[in-house]
A = this chain, B = another copy of it.
Amino acid sequence: MRRVLLIPKMDSMTSPVAQATRGPVTRKDVARYAGVSTAVVSYVVNKGPKKVAPATEAKVQDAIRVLGYRPNAAARALKLGSTETIGLVIPDNGNPFFSLLAHAVEDAAAELGYALLLTNSDGNLTKERRNIRNLASRQVDGVILSSVLMEPDLADLESADIRTVLLNHSADAPGFNSVGVDLFAGAKSAVEHLIGHGHTTIALAMGTNAGNFLDGREQGWLQALTEAGLPEGPIVRSLFTRAGGYAAGQRLLASAIQPTAIFASSDMQAIGIMRALHEAGRSIPDDIAIAAFDGSEEAEYTWPPLTTVKQPAQAMAKAAVSALIGGRRNVNSEHLIFPTTLQVRQSCGCRRI
């Protein structure tokens, strides 16, 4: 890389004009400047718990402005036992679904005056544990965990006494609050849509979950097939990534029974599959139709645009945050399941209106 400028720091003899006290301004400075006690400053800053005379308040506000005072959150946290911060543990902020979720969580938290400590576990259980522990030691008021695992036995260990809600978790988790979507119904609706287009051999491109629960998406796919009296199509398993989907697509193309439609358990996988299909010269949706699960924005811009089962990420994030720090914190094991909506585009065979 090229270094453009390299100006040594000028001696920090900052002009001691109105603000003689160099270094952070504390509540004490404000009190002195305003000619009141430190308690009063607190009352003003926090609008309570005691009332202050309007005149006094004005003086304090003035001092605050002049001195450029900003309360020290660390001290406040120490005193109050709350950092007004929540932690978020996701597998990978590079994955559009999770980055959207993270953004939504940030918004929801900010609305309540909470900040967000973001950590990625990179699909790595060890890292996930470390992140949780780290967040706990940082006194976050709670953590939202999008676990690598289906059954977060780990949370049992680590979270011990820290409030936790499982996000993007669609199985039951005794002892935990959790929020997720109805994977089963969502997948089923997508596969039924594919069946509606006349497909009879519908493959499943499933993501690999650590854990031995049967994923709702797999069940939904199967159920739709069964109810329609259709045979179980081929299954390929891969990571929940574009690259995983790409590989899965190639395997599917090489398999004995060729599906005429594919249901993918995530948009990312579908996108990888579509690339494999394009490269092989197959037309989508005419040779092979495809539908997926997630509803990320990226799915709107693939070619052809991807029909996908949309998860209400904002709502889920909001629910997770409010389960964590909203009212009713005393509930211990509540499982919120959000419905999905099928977003019909052209990859399934539907035409533009």
Contacts and interface: CB of A to CB of B under 8 A. Distances in A.
Interface of A: 1-10, 24, 68, 70-75, 77-78, 81, 83, 85, 92-94, 96, 99-100, 102-103, 106-107, 110, 115-120, 133-139, 160-161, 172, 174, 182, 242, 246, 271-272, 274-275, 278-279, 297-298, 300-305, 315, 319, 330-339, 352
Contacts of A339: 1-2
A8 B333 CA distance: 7
A15 B100 CA distance: 41
Q: Taking the full assembly, how many copies of this chain does it contain?
A: 2
Contact of A337 (B4, B333, B338): B4
| Prevailing SS type, chain A contact patch | mixed
A133 B4 CA distance: 29
Contacts of A117: 85, 115-118
Contact of A182 (B2, B174, B305): B2
A339 B1 CA distance: 6
Contacts of A139: 72-74
A100 B106 contact: no
A93 B96 CA distance: 9
7 contacts: A1-B337, A6-B331, A70-B133, A70-B137, A75-B78, A93-B103, A110-B119
A300 to B, nearest CB: 7
Contacts of A302: 302-303
